[in-house]
């Protein structure tokens, strides 16, 4: 499969990510299989499921860190599989990723963290890079913290700085791995508002791995529910619809915060 391609359409909507028969895992260990889903441009798509079900593995496969064990996975009609270095670099320019820990470079200031990709991949003059980086930091509410080191920021500020860094190159899709982990409800809600405004005003697409149900109901257009035992997706759709209509016991217990069955931990 080539990395080149055109963005497919589905009922008039741009499909940014398309998975068909996708199996993900490590080596010979299949964590999730038979995954069929599309992520549309401008939507917030959430990967949901219990701990250890493989959400982060699916995410890592989507961003090209892991190779699919089976099936196809396309990002704007192209694939990381078989892509040469140039094509891979072009695909990587379309995505931004934030990791659970923030993964900011500890020896650099926040401004330098955000500026890094602009310095490496664009021909913008230094003053333009400085301005863009400051604006991205302003966008996530970190004005005044530009010269601080990551260690000097709170957990919530580090998460926001990581989002600013991921947005530095104005990617088409932002992948957020557990963005709310360790955040208080207020900071978590602020992060939700940020995501909503980026989707509304910039038409950005988000793929988010989270356990935070309040956030899922607030921002998710659709969720893909992954089950650990069955090793595949058991539901896909709007979270409110799934919470109301799904008959799957795992989905129901997850959305309603109930134990799965007596004697078995939820």
Which residues are near other proteins by CB under 8 A?
106-107, 118, 121-125, 127-128, 131-132, 134-139, 143-144, 146-147, 149-151, 167-170, 197-198, 201-202
Give the tokens for residue 78.
């192209």
Question: What strand order describes the sheet that includes 173-177?
Answer: 95-98, 173-177, 205-209, 44-49, 222-227, 232-237
C-beta closer to other proteins: residue 123 or 247: 123
Tell me the pairing of strands 173-177 and 70-75: unpaired
- CA atoms in the 13 A half-sphere facing the CB of 195: 28
Considering the complex, state which of residue 199 and residue 235 has its C-beta at the smaller distance from other proteins: 199
Provide the minimum distance between the beta carbon of 106 and other proteins in the complex, in angstroms, as a whole number.
3
Q: How far is the CB of 186 from other proteins (least distance, A)?
A: 21
Measured distance CA(125)–CA(216) in Å, rounded: 40
Instruction: Give min distance, CB of 108 to other proteins, in A.
Output: 9
Query: Can you read off the two tokens belonging to residue 4?
Result: 């080149």
Minimum CB separation from other proteins for residue 220, in Å? 21
User: Whose CA is closest to 42, among 214, 262, 225, 222?
Assistant: 222
Q: What is the separation, in whole angstroms, between the first and last Cα of the chain?
A: 40
Cβ proximity to other proteins: between 66 and 133 the closer is 133
Q: Closer to other proteins at the Cβ: 47 or 194?
A: 194
Asked if 177 and 98 touch (Cβ cutoff 8 Å), the reply is: yes
Q: What secondary structure letter does DSSP report for 78?
A: B
State which residue, 12 or 125, has the beta carbon closest to other proteins. Answer: 125
Name the minimum Å distance from CB 264 to other proteins: 31
Nearer to other proteins, 53 or 153 (CB): 153
Measured CA to CA, the distance from residue 104 to residue 121 in angstroms comes to 18
Cα angle: 98, vertex 27, 208; to 5 degrees = 25
Smallest distance from other proteins to CB 140, Å:
10
Q: Quote the least distance from Cβ 72 to other proteins, whole Å.
A: 29
For other proteins, the closer CB: 166 or 251: 166
- Which helix (H) or strand (E) is 111 found in, with range? helix 110-121
């Amino acid at each position: 499969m080539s990395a080149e391609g055109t963005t497919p359409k589905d009922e008039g909507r741009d499909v940014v990510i398309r998975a068909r028969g996708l199996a993900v895992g490590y080596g010979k260990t299949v964590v999730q299989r038979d995954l069929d889903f599309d992520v549309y441009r401008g939507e917030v798509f959430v990967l949901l499921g219990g701990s250890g079900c493989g959400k982060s593995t699916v995410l890592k496969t989507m961003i090209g860190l892991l190779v699919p064990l089976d099936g196809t996975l396309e990002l704007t009609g192209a694939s990381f599989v078989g892509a040469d270095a140039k094509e891979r670099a072009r695909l990587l320019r379309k995505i931004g990723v934030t990791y659970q820990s923030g993964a900011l470079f500890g020896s650099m200031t926040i401004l330098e963290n955000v500026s890094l990709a602009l310095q490496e991949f664009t021909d913008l003059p230094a003053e333009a890079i400085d301005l863009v980086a400051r604006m991205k930091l302003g966008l996530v509410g970190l004005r005044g913290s530009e010269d601080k080191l990551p260690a000097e920021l709170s957990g919530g500020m580090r998460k926001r700085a990581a989002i600013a860094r991921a947005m530095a190159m104005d990617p088409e899709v932002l992948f957020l791995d557990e963005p709310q982990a360790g955040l208080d409800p207020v900071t978590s809600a602020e992060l939700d508002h940020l995501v909503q405004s980026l989707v509304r005003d910039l038409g950005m697409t988000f793929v988010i791995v989270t356990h935070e149900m309040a956030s899922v109901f607030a921002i998710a257009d659709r969720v893909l529910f992954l089950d650990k035992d069955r090793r595949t997706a058991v539901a896909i759709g709007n979270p409110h619809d799934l919470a109301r209509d799904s008959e799957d016991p795992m989905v129901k217990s997850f959305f309603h915060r109930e134990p799965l069955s007596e004697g078995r931990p939820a």
